[in-house]
Amino acid sequence: MWRFAGDDVAAARARIEAAFDAGITLFDTADIYGPDNGEPFGAAEALLGRVLAETPALRDRMVLATKGGIRMGVPYDSGPTALAGAIDDSLARLGTDRVELYQIHRPDLLTHPQEVARTLDDARQAGKIVAIGVSNHTPAQAAALAHFLPVPLVSHQPEFSALHLAPLFDGIVDQAMERDMALLAWSPLGGGRLARAEDARSQAVAALLDAKAADAGVDRAAAAYSWIMVHPARPIPIVGTQNPQRIRAAADAYKPRWTRTEWYAVLQASMGESLP
């Protein structure tokens, strides 16, 4: 819901209903979503809150996730006062008494993970959040936070796509499998680079995705999502499109069937070199 913006509540509701039509139930937002769209801090959460206020039944159908810890001009603050306030403010904007998943958006290097853990667990025990995850954390940062929590971290949210392979090699995917954490892949289309395919590397990857898409009768985006999803960590691509038709088409990600040879061909095209 990074680009979930505007004042048209009916149009916003249509996007949510398109997601439900596609079998999508996880909705991932954040308090910082807004300024990148030329809107105020918290705007995406507030818009979702307006949708849920008009159609409360939608709330019961979704797994609602939000994130906090980024502050305009700071840039990061997960200190006890700031983080507790961010959680309460998010709930107020969303018009709900709890979220199923609360994630630290980016690590605050000036707050001890024990303090972060204490604030998050206080909110959990108060019923404000159900589960705790991290976004844009290294495996070591996630492990440090997990050490001080009385409950497991349930999710990692890294950037991951056929053009951004870092989680496969930096330990994030391995930690997610080791600890049975959900892997929520943001920017699974490479920030639009897979759609535009303007450079040689993107074009090489796109050509292989297009071949698989044609074979499965889907579009390139669905092939890109499916390439991520075939990994045994069972990554969940965070679909960012705001077009209801393309949201519905995301369900086509289940159609392609990748052979090992095909999957590794995409990986090597993205790497620009052959594996040993």
CATH number at residue 26: 3.20.20.100
Do 135 and 31 share a domain, yes or no? yes
139-148: pLDDT as tens digits: 999 999 999 9
Q: Provide the residue range defining the domain that includes 224.
A: 190-276
Q: Is residue 179 part of a domain?
A: no
Q: Is residue 178 part of a domain?
A: no
Do 39 and 135 share a domain, yes or no? yes
Predicted confidence at residue 260, as pLDDT, reads: 98
Catalytic status, residue 33: yes
pTM (2 d.p.):
0.96
Q: Is residue 174 part of a domain?
A: no
Do 131 and 219 share a domain, yes or no? no
d(CA 276, CA 207): 23
184-207: pLDDT as tens digits: 999 999 999 999 999 999 999 999
Task: Label the pairing between strands 236-237 and 182-185.
Answer: parallel
Do 116 and 200 share a domain, yes or no? no
What does residue 100 show for φ and ψ, rounded to 5 degrees?
Answer: -70, -30
Predicted confidence at residue 77, as pLDDT, reads: 98
Where the chain has pLDDT below 70, the residues are none
Q: Is residue 1 part of a domain?
A: yes
Do 6 and 60 share a domain, yes or no? yes
Q: Which of 33, 76, 225, 264 is catalytic?
A: 33
Burial of 175-190, coded b for 16+ CB within 10 Å and e otherwise, reads bbeeeebbbbbbbbbb
d(CA 247, CA 244): 5
Tell me what the pLDDT averaged over the chain comes to: 98
SS3 assignment, position 132: strand
Do 146 and 206 share a domain, yes or no? no
Do 153 and 21 share a domain, yes or no? yes
Give the number of domains in the chain: 2
d(CA 77, CA 75): 7
